[in-house]
Amino acid sequence: MIRLKNIVVMLSVLCVVACTENNIAYDEVVNVPEGIYLSGSSSEFSVPIETGRLKSGSHANMFSIRAWLKKEGRFQISFVGTDGQPVTYGKGTDISLSNAHATAFNLTEGGEGFTVPAEGLYQIVVNKERKELTIIPVQFTMQGENALTTEGSTTVGLSKVTYDRLTHVVTWSNEDSTQQLLPGRYVFNMNDGAPLYLRDSESEQDTVSAVYTGTAWQNVPIS
């Protein structure tokens, strides 16, 4: 969910208050519910738990989660079947993508964990059947149909990113707290705004949308 406060974009990562700091050492879970999980030292989940479980979308074979990840450490993906026992997968061979912002890999059982180039919010997508993983960094800009600022710019970069580890809310805002917005229609572009097409099967693709809509009705400062 994205909420607009002035021109600050806020995105709930976990949608629940689960812990107060990164990578709390949760007790090991016995008989983990069936599903696909993200865990590891670069994430907030040291073991597979419910808040780290990936959710299915419009394509039943595609599962995803938004997670705040650190540059230090690694994360892995665990598949849990009806026996309740996690089977851990790590990094396999690279998969070529047309989108320059995302990276994709084959999953290898017992492979080395995944890393990210910088601390931030990432969308992790797993193709369950093909055992493929895509890492998508999440960054926003505002894009207007007409000028958004008094200087005539149609874009406003939201380059200041903060993460509240208590509420699990990520906030993007402009570095310039005095910036004014003009009335008009705009969208939030994730990365460059281009949709990302991921292979679901040999004949189908899953589309990850990269545009969020909104309308500004008055001049408001960025806070």
**pLDDT for residue 92:** 97
* Cβ burial, residue 122 (10 Å; 0-12/13-18/19+): buried
How many structural domains does the chain have? 2
Is residue 221, in this structure, part of any structural domain at all? Answer: no
pLDDT band at 149 (very low <50, low <70, confident <90, very high): confident
Q: What angle do CA 189, 72, 38 make, to 5 degrees?
A: 65
**Spatial distance between the Cα atoms of 223 and 176, rounded to a whole number of angstroms:** 8
Taking the mean position of all CA atoms in its chain, how far away is CA 94? 20
* Residues 30 and 89 grouped into a single domain: yes
For residue 138, what are the CA distances in angstroms to 9, 35, 67, 168, 206? 12, 24, 10, 15, 18
Beta bridge mates, 186: 144, 214
Q: What is the pTM of this model?
A: 0.81
pLDDT band at 223 (very low <50, low <70, confident <90, very high): very low
Q: Which residue has the higher pLDDT, 217 or 199?
A: 199
Q: Which residue has the higher pLDDT, 29 or 131?
A: 131
Residue written as token pair 């460059």: 192
* Residues 115 and 148 grouped into a single domain: no
**pLDDT for residue 201:** 76
Q: Which residue has the higher pLDDT, 139 or 177?
A: 139
**Spatial distance between the Cα atoms of 108 and 99, rounded to a whole number of angstroms:** 23
Is residue 164, in this structure, part of any structural domain at all? Answer: yes
Range of the domain at 123: 19-137
Which residue type, as a one-letter code, is found at position 90? G
Is residue 196, in this structure, part of any structural domain at all? Answer: yes
**pLDDT for residue 185:** 85
